[in-house]
Chains A and B, each alone.
Chain A
Amino acid sequence: MTSTGPVDTDVAIIGAGPAGLAAAIALRRAGVARVTVLEREAVAGGIPRHCHHAGYGIRDLHRFMTGPRYAQSYVARATAAGAQVLTSTMVTGWTADGGVHLTSPAGRRDLHASAVLLATGARERPRTARMVPGDRGAGVFTTGQLQQAAYLFGQSVGTRALVVGAEHVSYSAVMTLRHAGVDVIGMLTDRPHHHSYAAFALATRIALRVPLRTGTRVVEVQGRPRVTGVVVEDIATGHRRTIACDTVVFTGDWIPDHELARARGLTMDPGTRGPAVDAGAATDIDGLFATGNLCHPVETADVAALSGRAAGHSIARWLADRHRAGRQSGVPIEIDESFEWVHPQRASTLVDLPRNKIILRPRVFASAASIRVMQEDRCLWSGRVRHLVPTRPALIPTGWLARVDPAGKPVRIESALRTHD
């Protein structure tokens, strides 16, 4: 149980990004009386608030919106649905009896809930966590900091920028830099290709004339008090050169904001580095659920929202009948070396998953993969997945979950890749 004593609310949702807000809406629509969303930022809506370009809301709302409009839409709908959204309210830890400690300008207090949903999202790995040596001059950003500086505060960013990374968010960073009047002199990735949508990559290269260097890594940042350049290495040849720039943006390389999950002692998945969950978003503590990019770092905002919505359904069912469905269930789902992680990590039979899919995260580029889902020598499903790209999802259906022997050995997802020629 999350809380053993009297509760202040039925469900406490930690994080008012797309996942947390979508969960709140789903819970209210399922008739859950008291839903409290706790948001540490001063404004609810999560990371889309900072992304002023269009492309949000496609899969969940079937619309095409900018990030801020999308975020506002979720906040408005959650509030209209009757969820209580508390901003500038940070969960700083857990009480001994499963409640949470809150800090807000209104005061310091504890909150107890029948169920808790962690929807704390993910952040980009900053330069230091990537162990990039050199000087500590100003001008080093993550996309998150860059977008807030440029869009929320209109702060000056720099004049000549290099973007490290070539995933979706990296192209978002390029657009933000352009908006801020910064000359983007190039993008680089240590992988052999970009891993965003082909249209993004093409438009950036042709229309914005931003070259992409593949197979290249940053080995040093130079300059203080301001960045003056970056030393890059061609991974294949070891050849190094210095690129003059005053701004460097480290993009992507997402890591879940998992502090609360770990502080609670949840079993963590080594692949996602988020809490291990079953197909109903349940963690291994009864009544404690986790969803969104905390559990699949990262999917696009609309998929995070769908993930939250699914978790909302699962929690509503648990509240209605705690004896039937509550604790994490199902045998573990294991993956082979082609994949970095799988979501979910437990093959439960009650399934509430975004798009009703299992998400696999490829380690390498491949034009296709033949996949078999095995439990011991029994094949539960086999099929093909096309166009495998690191940092992007490879999806397989969930129908086979019903055929898993809950008393059997772990399920194993095996693959045979066909790589690019």
Chain B
Amino acid sequence: MTFADPPAHDAEPYDVAVIGAGVVGCAVARELSIRGARAVLIEARNDVGDATSKANTAILHTGFDAKPGTLESRLVARGYTLLSEYAVRAGIPVEVPGALLIAWDQEQLDELPVLAARAEANGYHRTRPIGADELYAREPHLGPGALGALEVPDEGIICPWTTSLAFATEAVRHGAVLRLDSPVTAVTVGDNVTVVETATGPVATRIVINAAGLGSDLVHAMFGLDGFTITPRRGELIVFDKLARPLVSHVLLPVPTKMGKGVLVAPTVYGNVMLGPTSENLDDRTATGSSEDGLAFLQHHGRRIMPDLLAEEATTIYAGLRAASEHDDYQIGVYPQLRYACAGGIRSTGLTSSLAIAEYLAEAITDVLGLPLKPMAHPEADPHPPHMPNIGEATVRPYADAARIAANPEYGEIVCFCERTTLGEIRDAMRSDVPPRTVEGLRRRTRATMGRCQGFFCGATIRQLLDAPDPSTAAAPTTRHNEGAK
């Protein structure tokens, strides 16, 4: 692997073990390792961001509709600022098309001023009501019957995959150890050292941070604590073909009412259009399959919101599980006697708030758990600025970059036609600090095979590139700092 082997049990304990390499865990590991902590990032699955974090609606939220006064409200607003800045710096695909909350009946129309007032209470001051005429002028493919909308001009869309990956990459570059395939089975809290038992062996650490998402209540219980229970909330989504992209200009949000939350239609940074999610509480923490009823529900709503969208081909259907707790707010707590902190019950807003959660926890660790951390480096002073491969449509991708192809013809060799992923990008991903282990992992790093043909043309080639040793690695060693560990 390209990162160091996990140290033996009798090695010096880590300063911090972060359990869960979702977007929150990766953000925490990044923050702590940049600030000088010796961190280990423990993940049950075979990739970062592979559970809840990979399958959300990919919205960069302003937090306008959060419950005022909650920690979630505060951290989403702060996270929006931090992640917007970081995304530009790290090359994470992000766009700000703005959102329109669309009222389809009088009850929803009456709710718009309430939502505008809530936005004010959350410190967001740029909402604006718009009438049906302006709404249809701006979204001409909207289905008939909309009465008006509330505009939220700063709602964005972001690549959730690159976000987790950028955080993990930066953490690893700052010395954090990424330990995949390591579900946590038990925790023993000693006087100075906590031993985290995992499927790949024990990990000794001074401090544990629980960012285990769907498993966060189970890890919490391992510390003898209760207080929240995770109920997986399944959200199914349909992603439509890129040919549908011109139909939609904004994130089209439903107005939440007593009758339910409704579904949204949103462009994606890859140039697709997303319809969803459903919302269904489950018992099974692994039930990431889509369902007949869920798809029928989405098609029913989609036909109302944008009939033309349903005439386009679906590229992907998938389901994510949100780590919802019974509480209205994030379950973030610090337990000094246990040298333990928990970031549980983080729902879909966790993508936006991830950097703010990390900042908040780092402060708590310094103040409450007594681990001295360096101040966060100023961006320009960061010795290892991350720069993630661009897989978004808003900026030039390698296949369209004449200078890049001239410098390396592999960027002119398109392997995945639907997504225009080049051989150069696949090779880069394979050589990266946090390389993929599966086709799915490669897809999240390069978009290969995520397009309309779903591998009809390139599926076998991609598998070959993933399985076969990379001939160019041996022939032409690169100067990347950890290449030798491969």
Contact = CB atoms under 8 A, between A and B. Distances in A.
Interface of A: 40-41, 88, 90, 92, 101, 103-109, 123-129, 131, 133-136, 138, 141-142, 144-145, 148-149, 152-153, 155, 219-220, 222, 224, 255, 259, 262
Interface of B: 238, 242-243, 288-292, 294-295, 299, 313-318, 399-402, 405-406, 409-410, 412-414, 417, 420, 439, 452-457, 459-461, 463-464, 467
Nearest to B452: A129
Contact of B455 (A90, A126, A262): A126
A145 B460 contact: yes
A18 B452 CA distance: 23
B454 A131 contact: no
Given A104-B413, A129-B314, 8 more contacts: A92-B399, A108-B401, A133-B294, A135-B288, A142-B456, A153-B461, A155-B460, A262-B243
A363 B80 CA distance: 52
Top 5 A-B pairs ranked by shortest CB distance? A126-B454, A105-B409, A148-B460, A145-B459, A144-B456
Contacts of B243: 259, 262
Nearest to A101: B400
B291 A105 contact: no
B292 A148 contact: no
Given A103-B400, A131-B295, A123 B453 contact: yes
A378 to B, nearest CB: 34
Contacts of A40: 414, 417
A108 B317 contact: no
A109 B460 CA distance: 28
Contacts of A153: 460-461, 463-464
25 contacts: A90-B420, A105-B405, A105-B413, A123-B453, A126-B452, A126-B456, A128-B314, A128-B454, A133-B290, A134-B291, A136-B289, A136-B318, A141-B455, A142-B454, A144-B453, A144-B456, A145-B457, A148-B460, A149-B459, A149-B460, A152-B460, A153-B461, A155-B460, A220-B289, A224-B289
Nearest to A221: B289
Contacts of A104: 412-413
B313 A255 contact: yes
Q: Of B295, B454, B461, B467, which is in contact with the most chain A CB atoms at under 10 Å from its CB?
A: B454
A96 to B, nearest CB: 15
Contacts of A90: 399, 414, 417, 420
A126 B453 contact: yes
A103 B399 contact: yes
B461 A131 contact: no
Contact of B412 (A107, A127, A128, A141): A107
Contacts of A109: 402
Contact of B402 (A108, A141, A145, A219): A108
Contact of A131 (B314, B459, B463, B464): B314
Nearest to A93: B400
Given A108-B400, A133-B290, A135-B289, A148 B459 contact: yes
A41 B457 contact: yes
A148 B299 CA distance: 33
Nearest to B292: A133
A123 B315 CA distance: 13
A148 B461 contact: yes
Q: Of A127, A129, A153, which is in contact with the most chain B CB atoms at under 10 Å from its CB?
A: A129
A136 B288 contact: yes
B414 A129 contact: no
B239 to A, nearest CB: 8
A385 B118 CA distance: 68
B400 A155 contact: no
Contacts of A259: 242-243
Contacts of A88: 412-414
A125 B312 CA distance: 13
Contacts of B401: 108
Contacts of B291: 133-134
B244 to A, nearest CB: 11
A342 B155 CA distance: 46
B455 A134 contact: no
Contacts of B405: 103, 105, 107-108
Contacts of B420: 90, 92, 103
A101 B289 CA distance: 39
Nearest to A102: B412
B456 A123 contact: yes
A242 to B, nearest CB: 14
B463 A149 contact: yes
B288 A155 contact: no
